[in-house]
Amino acid sequence: MTRVIAVANQKGGVGKTTTSVNLAASLAMASSRTMLIDLDPQGNATMGAGVDKYRVARNIYDWLIEGANLDEVVQHCSGNYDLIPSNSDLTAGEVELLNQEQRQVRLRDKLAFCRERYDYIIIDCPPTLNILTLNALIAADGVLIPMQCEYYALEGLTALLDTIEGVRAQANPRLEIEGLLRTMYDPRNGLTRDVSRQLIEHFGEGVFRTVIPRNVRLAEAPSHGLPGILYDRHARGSVAYMALAGELKKKHEDGGRA
């Protein structure tokens, strides 16, 4: 059963793109057929996956807006996963979407023709709650929310959860919260520990057991056009993302047997 996961948080700098790229690569390394969709006009996930956003002949704009076939757009990346790349063309695509009928379900309808090719489809959302993010939430089965354990992150989380609840009520009743992922985690910081404890008290099993630590090697990897797991598979950050992939797969396999 294909699982479409939107990686979303309207607060920037929380490790959203790092999580999208490294989770896709880790799932692929764990023998899952995986596609990463870069839905952010900044194209950071595209570059982090080793694809030059300035040189791609076709990108997500051509697929989502212009109607190009998936095979005309998709790139196969080191690490054995597929990527639909993005760049600033998608900024114009966002404006065009606003003028189209069925603008909120465009991504869902496009994925209907290719879901079965993959076990996991990971969507890297923009760091805003816009029409692109709304498309992702309507297309997705679950939302993975990366967040730092700090005060302002909790405030932003409330707005995102309200949006998810609204999408579930009006457009996508199957949408689930995949889990909250604690990123850039530093256990030496008292506030980090306090916020982490609050998250677990409030969300319980909705918080992933896996924690992504602050890690220099993980931060260096995008400049080399590689996910952390391919840049240095023994780095703490890389090991953590492999653990996250394992936790995610076990959750879905257990759910499938239930």
Kindly state the average pLDDT of the residues 234-239. Answer: 96
Give the pLDDT of residue 258: 36
Of the two residues 100 and 197, the one the predictor is more confident about is 197
82 neighbors 32 (Cβ within 8 angstroms): no
Evaluate if residue 65 carries a pLDDT over 50. yes
What's the CA gap between 4 and 174, in Å, rounded? 11
Evaluate if residue 257 carries a pLDDT over 50. no
State whether residue 7 is helix, strand or coil.
strand
User: How do residues 168-187 score in pLDDT, each as one tens digit?
Assistant: 999 999 999 999 999 999 88
**Alpha helix ranges (H) inside 30-142:** 44-48, 60-64, 70-73, 89-98, 106-111, 131-139
Give the pLDDT of residue 256: 53
Give the pLDDT of residue 253: 85
Whether 202 is in a domain gets the answer: yes
- Range from 30-44, 120-134, 140-154, 174-188 carrying the lowest mean pLDDT: 140-154
pLDDT-above-90 percentage for the chain: 80
Evaluate if residue 11 carries a pLDDT over 70. yes
Instruction: Say how many domains are in the chain.
Output: 1
DSSP run (H or E) holding 156: helix 151-170
Based on the number of CB atoms within 10 Å of its own CB, is 30 exposed (0-12), middle (13-18) or buried (19 or more)? middle
Q: What is the mean pLDDT of the chain?
A: 93
Task: Record the tokens describing residue 67, joined without a space.
Answer: 């109607």
Evaluate if residue 164 carries a pLDDT over 90. yes
122 neighbors 158 (Cβ within 8 angstroms): no
Give the pLDDT of residue 102: 87
Kindly state the average pLDDT of the residues 17-33. Answer: 97
CATH code, domain with 168: 3.40.50.300
- Strand positions, DSSP E, the chain: 3-7, 34-38, 75-77, 81-84, 120-124, 142-147, 176-185, 207-213
End-to-end C-alpha distance for the chain, whole angstroms: 14
Evaluate if residue 224 carries a pLDDT over 50. yes
Of the two residues 256 and 115, the one the predictor is more confident about is 115
Whether 258 is in a domain gets the answer: no
Tokens 């939107």 found at = 6
What's the CA gap between 241 and 258, in Å, rounded? 26
In 58-82, which positions are buried (b, 16+ CB within 10 angstroms) versus exposed (e)?
Answer: bbbbbbbbeeeeeeebbbebebebb
Whether 221 is in a domain gets the answer: yes
183 neighbors 18 (Cβ within 8 angstroms): yes
Kindly state the average pLDDT of the residues 193-220. Answer: 93
Kindly state the average pLDDT of the residues 205-214. Answer: 95
Give the pLDDT of residue 47: 97
Task: Record the tokens describing residue 154, joined without a space.
Answer: 């909790």
What's the CA gap between 79 and 101, in Å, rounded? 37
Range of the domain at 25: 3-253
